[in-house]
Structure 1
Amino acid sequence: MKNADCNYGGQAVIEGVMMRSPLKYAIAVRKPDKEIILKIGKLRSLSNKMKFLKWPIFRGIINLIESLVLGLKALTYSAEQATGEEEKINSVEMFFTILIAFGLFIVFFIAFPTAIARYLDKYLSNLIVYNLFEGMLRIGIFITYLFFISKIKDIKRVFEYHGAEHKVIYTYESGEELNVINVKKYSTLHPRCGTSFIFIVLVISILVFSLLGKQTLLLRIAYRIAIIPLIAGLSYEILKLSAKNINKTFVKWAVTPGLWFQKLTTSEPDDAQIEVAIKALKGVLPEDNKNVKSEEINNV
């Protein structure tokens, strides 16, 4: 029987996979001695305390923030286990890491494309053409970035685990037993992937930015930064809606560009990587956690 719910997702980490359900997460990492270590933790969303964060748009914003924080913690934990070097990251270090990452995002995906489009303003008098050029430039930067990092050996390993994560989720959603043989036949491309989410963000930003008109360079950059949460929230709703209607022809056509992007962020995993992804998913499935001891459940 197929598992129709879309409540499971995750991300690749260093030599492993992190999976999450609405209530918990699991990080499975292959250690240097080839052992797979599994860490399971409870998820506590701010939306449980502030109910308005469950409203459309708002839920996408809070989900993105919480996913970034959890993802960074998972990456840190996986690095510790994969290298055997324990180096805890505190809240201050995490804050500045996220701040620096956000700053680089602003520079390369907001300020730079906006500045180039503004510089070529005299050739882009039509507002639609202006915003389309800026948006395509932003997409081009993203593709170039993905292409070059995919050539780095360590990143390629992460992308292989990313492919394993998708294959395992596909297998579970199809109702098949989670084993290497079943998992291997599924695609590494999944419509609910974070890469597809980023593609939706880039496309929606073209439409939303077109409503802002032309301003000075600094105002354009400021406005674009200010409405990032709105764009993220809208993109989340679109991704969620497309996942629920993926069997409809139009939706299949609409999500195809996002799947193309995933060809840069996923690779075919080997059997050992698939085993790690299976372990991670089983860590968040209710039927596989009846015998998990309470001390194994903790925050990263």
Structure 2
Amino acid sequence: MSDIVLKEVKKTSIGGQALIEGIMMKGPDKIATAVRKPDGGIEVKESTINQIFKNKFFKLPLIRGSFVLIDSLVTGVKELMYSAEFYGDDYEEDAFDKFLKKVFKDKADTAIIYASVIIALIFSVGVFILGPTLLTNLAKNVIHNTFLLNLTEGVIRVSLFVGYVYLVSKLEDIKRVFMYHGAEHKTIHCYEHKEDLTVENVRKYSTLHPRCGTSFMINVMLISIIVFSFFGWPNPFMRLVIRLAMLPLIAGLSYELNKYVGRCEKENILTRIISYPGFLIQKITTKEPDDSMIEVAIEAMKRVIPANGEDDTW
């Protein structure tokens, strides 16, 4: 547990995402994406934040979680595509991308981004939400308690997710992405501890961070066990309807928990409990970066720190 202890620090809402040989950092006002180019230099692109869902309704507690997720996915795919452009010889377009470019022409990049997000959501919901409930249905003649059925479904869901992440982590390209993921977290920790953003300072911090998207995902799966238990174990069709209908609420609850942990200036027993499952999975999705990766993270981080040092995006 020594490597995941949170000290009393000034927290920030600045977050990021690991890319192909790069890192995207998102601050209160803008986004900065830094990529290590094939020639060894660092290219940095800055852009203002342009939220998809701007109405105040989409920012209400519990409501905002789902919309923040969609907004983050769109931004993440966009910046991932940008980083891939530097490695065009290694990352060729697939047939689907070519088809979209043929159909949408000058709007193809936007179409590819939204199509990628939709496919990712369908895959995630199908495999990790609907799949486990159909598998658990095979055990309904053996397990008669509705809570135990929902618990079994939850165990299958978490096992599928952890198994998927573990298998993906064995891919060479993904290993480097996970190293950049670690660099992102270490740099945010360094900033939160009010230290100068140098490679030496960043290097000593943990690769685990409570506001990570991995923690959000595992919280979604754990909270779903509790929420779905309130609806018993109806027929398969109704279960599918209920699970789809409850996803926005579950995502909202998970987002608020992550936000609570992110705002706490001092660790307490509740933040430990909330953070622990996510930290366990982050041991797979983050790896120790090398100094060149930390340099990329620092370049991105420096560009999004508010000029007045105040972070009012909570």
TM-score with structure 2 length normalisation?
A: 0.87
SS of 2:304's partner is coil
8 Å contact kept, 1:146–1:264? yes
Q: Are the structure 2 counterparts of residues 171 and 82 from structure 1 closer, same or farther at C-alpha, using a change threshold of 3 Å?
A: farther
Q: Are the structure 2 counterparts of residues 46 and 93 from structure 1 closer, same or farther at C-alpha, using a change threshold of 3 Å?
A: closer
Structure 1 unaligned regions, length at least 5 = 290-300
In the other structure, the counterpart of 1:62 is 67
8 Å contact kept, 1:23–1:44? no
Listed one character per residue, the Cα deviations across residues 91-142 of structure 1 (whole Å, up to 9, x for unaligned) are: 2222222222122112211222111111111112101100000001000000
In the other structure, the counterpart of 1:268 is 288
Listed one character per residue, the Cα deviations across residues 193-239 of structure 1 (whole Å, up to 9, x for unaligned) are: 11011111011111111111222212211221222111111110011
**Further displaced range: 119-128 or 150-159:** 119-128
Question: Does 1:103 find its partner at 2:116?
Answer: no
Question: Does 1:286 find its partner at 2:306?
Answer: yes
Question: Does 1:8 find its partner at 2:28?
Answer: no
Structure 2 unaligned regions, length at least 5 = 1-7, 94-100, 102-107, 310-314
Residue identity opposite 1:203 in structure 2:
L
Q: Are the structure 2 counterparts of residues 223 and 253 from structure 1 closer, same or farther at C-alpha, using a change threshold of 3 Å?
A: closer
Residue identity opposite 2:291 in structure 1:
D
SS of 1:189's partner is coil
8 Å contact kept, 1:31–1:83? no
In the other structure, the counterpart of 1:298 is none
Cα deviation for residue 83 of structure 1 reads 3.6
Rounded to whole Å, the distance in 1 between the matches of 2:26 and 2:286 is: 19
Q: Which of 212, 219, 224 is 2:243 aligned to?
A: 224
Identity %: 46
Equivalent positions of 1:141-220 (< 5 A) are 141-220=160-239
SS of 2:32's partner is strand
Tell me the C-alpha RMSD between the 2 structures: 2.0
Q: Which of 23, 33, 38 is 2:39 aligned to?
A: 33
Cα deviation for residue 46 of structure 1 reads 4.3
Q: Are the structure 2 counterparts of residues 128 and 101 from structure 1 closer, same or farther at C-alpha, using a change threshold of 3 Å?
A: same
Question: Does 1:81 find its partner at 2:86?
Answer: yes
**Further displaced range: 117-126 or 88-97:** 88-97
Listed one character per residue, the Cα deviations across residues 10-45 of structure 1 (whole Å, up to 9, x for unaligned) are: 010000000001221100000100110000000122
In the other structure, the counterpart of 1:21 is 27
Rounded to whole Å, the distance in 2 between the matches of 1:4 and 1:53 is: 27
Cα deviation for residue 86 of structure 1 reads 9.8
Rounded to whole Å, the distance in 2 between the matches of 1:221 and 1:235 is: 20
Residue identity opposite 2:60 in structure 1:
W
8 Å contact kept, 1:80–1:86? no
Rounded to whole Å, the distance in 1 between the matches of 2:133 and 2:64 is: 28
Residue identity opposite 1:247 in structure 2:
E
SS of 2:209's partner is coil
Rounded to whole Å, the distance in 1 between the matches of 2:52 and 2:79 is: 19
SS of 2:141's partner is helix
8 Å contact kept, 1:127–1:213? yes
Q: Are the structure 2 counterparts of residues 51 and 169 from structure 1 closer, same or farther at C-alpha, using a change threshold of 3 Å?
A: same
SS of 2:31's partner is strand
8 Å contact kept, 2:28–2:306? no
